[in-house]
C-alpha cells in the first residue's frame, strides 16, 4: 500500500501551487492544520523535505518537491481516468471536472452553466475558476484545468477549440455620448474618442488589432484590468469601452446607465467555445459538458450579443 492517500497528494499540489498553507486550505476547502499534517506525513514517509519554510515568502518547493509534485499530478490524473472508465462502463457521468472561464464573462455564464451541468449529472462535481486568457492556457497545459470556456484568442496548436457561438465586438458608451445617438458605430467614429481599454493579456491585443486592421490608431485614455471599472469610467463620461459580450443589465456597477452599440464594418468576430488538451474530448464528462454547453449557452447568451 502507498504511504499516502490521493487526498494528501491533492493537498500537496494545492500547497505547491499556492505557496501557502492558508491559501491552499481556502482552495480545497479544508482546514489549514489538516493540510499541514498531510504535508508533514508525506515528507516523513518519503524522508525528503518537499518545501522550504520561509516566514516572509511562505512555502517554496525544493527540487525534490517539484519532482514529487509532477508525479502527484500524474497520479491524480490516472486516478481520475480510472473513475471515468468505471463511469463509462455503467453509463453515467461522475467525478470532478475542473473548468476555467475567462474572467470578463465568468460571472455572467459560469453560474448558470454549472447549475445546469450538476442538475443533468448529479454524480459529477464541476469546479470553476476564473482567469485571463494566458492563465487559462497555462492551466490547461499544466493539467490544473480539464477545459476552459473562453474566446478563440491565440489558441496554441497543441490545444483544441470547440466553437459554441459567435460574439461580435461592440462599443460601450455613456447615454449622453454623441455616438450613442447612432444605431451602429464604426471604428473610424471611435478612433478619435478617448478609449478606456480593458487591459488583459491577449484581450487588449485583440481590441487594438481591430483598429490596426482598419488602418486606424485608437486614442487610449485609460487602461484597467477590471471590467467593472472600465464600465464605471465609461458611464461617468471618461471615454468609451469595447466588449464582445454585454451584460444582462445595461448599467455600470454603481447603477449609472450604459449604451451598447454594434461596430459596423468588416471587423473580427470572436468565437466563444471550449478549449481542451489533446484527446480530452474522449472523456465522457467533457463530452457531456460540450453537449450541455451547446444546449444551454444560447439561452444564457440571449440578449447579450449585438448583431
Q: Quick one: pLDDT at residue 4?
A: 77
d(C-alpha 246, C-alpha 305), whole Å = 6
Task: Please give the grid coordinates belonging to residue 149.
Answer: 470556456
**Predicted local confidence at residue 304, as pLDDT:** 55
CB 139 within 8 A of CB 129: yes
User: Nearest 5°: CA angle at 21, between 65 and 64?
Assistant: 5
Q: Is 21 helix (H, G, I), strand (E, B) or coil?
A: helix
User: Domains of the chain by range and CATH?
Assistant: 6-72 (1.10.10.10), 93-165+271-301 (3.40.190.10), 169-268 (3.40.190.10)
Q: What angle do CA 225, 262, 252 make, to 5 degrees?
A: 45
Q: Are 279 and 257 in contact (CB under 8 A)?
A: no
pLDDT at 109: 87
Are residues 199 and 185 in contact, defined by beta-carbon separation less than 8 angstroms?
no
- Which alpha helices (DSSP H) does the chain contain, by range? 6-18, 21-28, 32-46, 63-90, 106-120, 133-142, 187-190, 203-213, 227-235, 284-301
> How much is the pLDDT for 184?
94
pLDDT tens digits for range 228-251: 999 999 999 999 999 988 777 788
Q: What is the pLDDT of residues 142-185, one digit of tens each?
A: 778 889 999 988 888 889 898 888 888 999 999 999 999 999 99
- Helices and strands, number each (H, E), in the chain: 10, 12
Mean pLDDT across 283-301: 82
Are 132 and 102 in contact, with CB atoms under 8 Å apart?
Answer: yes
Strand spans (E) along 210-258 = 219-224, 241-243
Residues in the chain: 307
**Taking a C-beta distance cutoff of 8 angstroms, is the pair 199, 132 a contact?**
no
- pLDDT, residue 280, reads 72
Contacts of 107 (CB under 8 A, 6+ apart): none
Q: What are the pLDDT digits (tens) for 103-145?
A: 888 888 889 889 988 888 888 888 888 988 888 998 888 778 8
3-state SS assignment for residue 5: coil
Q: Quick one: DSSP state of residue 273? A: E
- Percentage of the residues of the chain whose pLDDT score is greater than 90: 32
* Per-residue pLDDT band at 91 (split at 50, 70, 90): low
Amino acid at each position: 500500500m502507498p504511504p499516502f492517500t490521493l487526498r494528501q497528494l491533492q493537498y500537496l499540489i494545492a500547497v505547491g501551487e499556492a505557496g501557502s498553507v492558508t491559501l491552499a486550505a481556502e482552495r480545497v476547502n479544508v482546514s489549514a492544520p489538516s493540510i499541514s499534517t498531510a504535508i508533514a506525513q508525506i515528507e516523513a514517509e518519503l524522508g525528503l523535505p518537499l518545501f522550504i519554510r520561509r516566514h516572509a515568502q511562505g512555502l517554496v518547493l525544493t527540487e525534490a518537491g517539484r519532482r514529487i509534485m509532477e508525479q502527484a499530478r500524474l497520479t491524480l490524473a490516472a486516478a481520475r481516468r480510472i473513475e471515468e472508465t468505471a463511469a463509462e462502463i455503467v453509463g453515467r457521468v461522475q467525478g470532478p471536472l475542473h473548468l476555467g472561464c475567462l474572467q470578463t464573462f465568468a460571472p455572467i455564464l459560469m453560474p448558470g452553466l454549472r447549475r445546469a451541468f450538476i442538475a443533468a449529472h448529479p454524480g459529477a462535481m464541476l469546479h470553476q475558476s476564473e482567469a485571463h486568457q494566458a492563465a487559462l492556457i497555462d492551466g490547461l497545459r499544466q493539467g490544473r484545468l480539464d477545459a476552459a470556456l473562453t474566446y478563440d484568442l491565440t489558441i496554441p496548436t497543441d490545444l483544441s477549440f470547440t466553437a459554441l457561438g459567435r460574439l461580435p465586438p461592440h462599443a460601450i458608451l455613456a447615454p449622453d455620448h454623441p455616438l450613442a445617438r447612432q444605431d451602429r458605430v464604426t471604428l473610424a467614429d471611435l478612433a478619435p474618442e478617448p478609449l478606456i481599454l480593458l487591459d488583459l493579456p491577449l484581450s487588449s491585443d485583440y481590441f487594438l488589432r481591430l483598429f490596426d486592421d482598419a488602418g486606424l490608431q485608437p486614442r487610449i485614455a485609460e487602461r484597467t484590468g477590471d471590467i467593472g471599472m472600465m464600465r464605471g469610467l465609461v458611464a461617468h463620461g471618461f471615454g468609451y469601452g469595447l466588449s464582445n459580450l454585454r451584460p444582462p443589465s445595461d448599467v455600470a456597477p454603481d447603477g449609472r446607465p450604459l449604451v451598447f452599440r454594434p461596430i459596423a464594418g468588416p471587423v473580427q468576430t470572436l468565437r466563444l467555445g471550449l478549449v481542451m488538451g489533446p484527446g480530452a474530448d474522449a472523456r465522457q464528462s467533457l463530452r457531456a459538458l460540450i453537449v450541455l454547453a451547446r444546449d444551454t449557452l444560447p439561452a444564457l447568451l440571449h440578449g447579450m450579443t449585438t448583431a
